[in-house]
Structure 1
Amino acid sequence: LEGTVTGVADAAAADVLLVPTTDGLYAVEPGAEGVAVEPLVPLDLTRPLATVTLRGAAGTRLADGASAVGAVRRGLLAGAGLLASEQLGLAEWCLNETVRYTRERHQFNRPVGSFQALKHRMAQLWLEVVSARAAARNAADALASGSPDAPLAVAVAQAYCSGVAVRAAEECVQLHGGIGMTWEHPAHLYLKRAKADSVAYGTAGQHRATIAELVELPAP
């Protein structure tokens, strides 16, 4: 096997690497001859990435071309659908933490959460989180039940939830004020994870293009 793939999550800690090729799906031992795994410095340090390079590496064939393509597609679909639930949880934490903080933080002898401008921002975020919850749960249900609409449900969830997670994390940092900009507060960890998640299984734009194709409404 020959080739290089960048940005492989947890490749440095993996016991087996699954390598899709034009003629099948192969299992490769990370420590085998001809296999190089080079750790990278990712934006989200809680999810390590690495570059995997194969130079004449030996692999065990697990599936032929057609079966391999189907298996990889199913795996990527399930991963994207489950990632929407992670993005939902991330957005919910950011919203809850922001509401808690703005209730406790006082300026001019009043909780900052009582200021109308901040109320509007958190109310809008709450509406987006509720919609993200519906999209993520629909995707999870479609995957669990084997629904033929699972590709569409997952694409909708990813197209929407990725943006909500990033916006929730950004609002969490901003509405925490000075403390939100420090390393001591965990808000930056959620922002980094949200940014990383937004491209992990394709961007929101790519998923919107998938939706257009599935409902036969392609862009001009």
Structure 2
Amino acid sequence: MSGSPRGSRQRVPWLWPVLLAATLLLSFAAQAASVKSRNLSQLIDESDSIVIGVVDKVEDGIDDRGVPYTEVTVKIAERLRGKDTGASYTFRQFGLIEPRKMDNGRTLMAVTPDGWPTYAKGEQVMLFLHKPAKLTGLQTTVGLNQGKFRISNNRARSAADNRGLFEGVTFAPGVLTKNQKTMVSARAGAVDANALIDVVRRAVKENWAATGRMKNER
């Protein structure tokens, strides 16, 4: 008698993407729970790309391997680090925007894990982004929700409320303006966006870490 063994992948073609998504979700959720606090020096040091702009498009989907993702496109106002990708920057982060009904009638619940940044069309942001993952091509911000700053009314705030942003960061005398000195003394909460962007811009362009003008004392 011919036929596939009971419970084989031929009989349940939907099972592989569901299992893959579930495995990745558990892995990324654990990563979010254990992520360490990053200060500004670490955000800059660990970033492959740093971009400022307006979120133009947010879409989700499932790739050919069954990995659920949210794709974000940012219209670039300024690129502080990274390859020139033209007028926009597009990346994919793990997780769907909301649960998705699949062709088999089941619902895939693999949404963006807690502790990860979320995006909305029209919001102005500054993003500190890791390199895309070699295996999946997925990309997220350094320190997860610590590496996405929403800018509104010239105030910049991370999803982590800027907690620990300047903790352990020291600057050489004369490097910061008076306004920037006030900013880096804050322990949490929104800060002057222009002051923050100028510090990051100069730190990258002038290589403050290598020249000792900005140090991480952690």
Specify the TM-score bucket, using the shorter chain as the normaliser.
under 0.3
* Structure 1 or 2: more helix by fraction: 1
TM value normalised by structure 1: 0.26
